[in-house]
Structure 1
Amino acid sequence: MLAIVLGACVVLSDVYARRVPNAWLVATLLTAIAMAFLQKLSGASQVSWPSPLGLATGLISMLPFYAIRWMGAGDVKFFATLGFLLGARALLPIWVMGCLMTGVHATCVLLLRMPRIACAPGIVSVHQHLRAWPLWRRAQHARQGRVGLPHAAYLAIAAIVTVLAPELTQWGRP
């Protein structure tokens, strides 16, 4: 449940402001730990402990992409948090689905930058209407110059799919 709530918040924040607030990630980590302790104290027969291995796997696997500036620090920290919540095994399908969605987005952006497509009358009209929309202007202001694709949002969507429909992400597992 924590992964779904955090994921929904990250989708909105990353799409709108290209930002993943650290406070949300820390609060989620602490909440996951507190919930596990409360389960243990209540005498639950099975306690779902967060995964430090998942946290380390998520962090270590994404740090090289941050180092070469292919993704932001928020993306890395969010992926590590997902590893903590869902475990290391959940990270590969989340990463694959998130990267595929980001790739489609990047392809669309590149296509729309091609002179023949960018100057097409319909595209020009859509761009003009989009830029005149107050929500678009507020989002641009909220981004404070941050550019790039909302990769954390796509990772969040993939995490939500992984939690809600695990059968879709059990590639080759019995």
Structure 2
Amino acid sequence: MSLLPVLAVLLSAQVATSDLYARRVSNRWLVCVAVLATGALLWSWMTGAAFPGMHLLGLLVGLLSLLPFYAIGWMGAGDVKYFAVLGLLLGASALLPIWIVASLLAGLHATVVVLAPGLRASLPLRAQLLQARVREHWQTGPAAQRLQALRQGRTGIPYAAYLAAATLGYLLWQGRGAAP
């Protein structure tokens, strides 16, 4: 497997973990991976490979395509930056399938969030009481307290985690190993 897909897998694992746990995407990881990818692409180009235009286009398309969602407050800046770095790593052609799958997963998540209160209300009274006790026990426990402290009030759908899952699925589906 070449370096860029390996970097995409490593970055995706880190981003998914961080986004699910703390609703954050680390700028340090993004910058480090982008610098490594840029160096690898430049080295490849200098040693006779084709100009990495699709990777640079992927960076630009990844940034510009999600920037409006950040501007209107529907998405965090980390999600946008992560998508741009994915474009740099995998090229512009990888972004559409990754975006579609991630958006479908996020839409499913949102649907469950919207429908959950109605589904709870349709449960038998005993099940509702049990669910309320379990939820209260969880929310007052130390794990939930640490999670809330790490999130610092950030809520929402972990879109970067869904982008990461879609990226891993894309790489598995493509069998990316030969192309940089």
- Same structural fold, with TM-score higher than 0.5 when normalized by the shorter chain: yes
Q: Which residue of 2 aligns with 1:170?
A: none
Q: Which residue of 2 aligns with 1:105?
A: 109
Aligned match for 1:70, one of 74, 93, 99: 74
Q: Which residue of 1 aligns with 2:155?
A: 147
Give the CA deviation at 1:130.
2.9
Q: Which residue of 1 aligns with 2:37?
A: 32
Give the CA deviation at 1:139.
1.3
The answer to whether the 8 A contact 2:45-2:51 is kept is: no
Q: Which residue of 2 aligns with 1:163?
A: 171
Count of residue pairs the alignment pairs up: 165
Aligned equivalents of 2:111 and 2:17: distance in 1? 22
1:59-115 alpha-carbon deviations (Å, 9 max, x no partner): 111111111111111111111110110111100110011011111111111122347
Percent identity at matched positions? Answer: 46
Give the CA deviation at 1:117.
5.3
* Partner secondary structure for residue 113 of structure 1: helix
Q: Which amino acid aligns with 1:90?
A: A
5 Å-filtered alignment, 1:10-159, equals 10-39=15-44, 46=49, 49=52, 51-114=55-118, 116=121, 120-159=128-167
Aligned equivalents of 2:69 and 2:15: distance in 1? 20
- The alignment's TM-score, normalised by the length of structure 2, stands at 0.81
Long gaps (5+) in structure 1? 168-174
Aligned equivalents of 2:113 and 2:34: distance in 1? 34
Q: Which amino acid aligns with 1:154?
A: Y
Q: Which residue of 1 aligns with 2:12?
A: 7
User: Which piece of structure 1 moves more, 15-24 or 117-126?
Assistant: 117-126
User: Which piece of structure 1 moves more, 126-135 or 156-165?
Assistant: 126-135
Aligned equivalents of 2:155 and 2:41: distance in 1? 37
Q: Which runs of 4+ in 1 moved over 3 A?
A: 36-41, 45-50
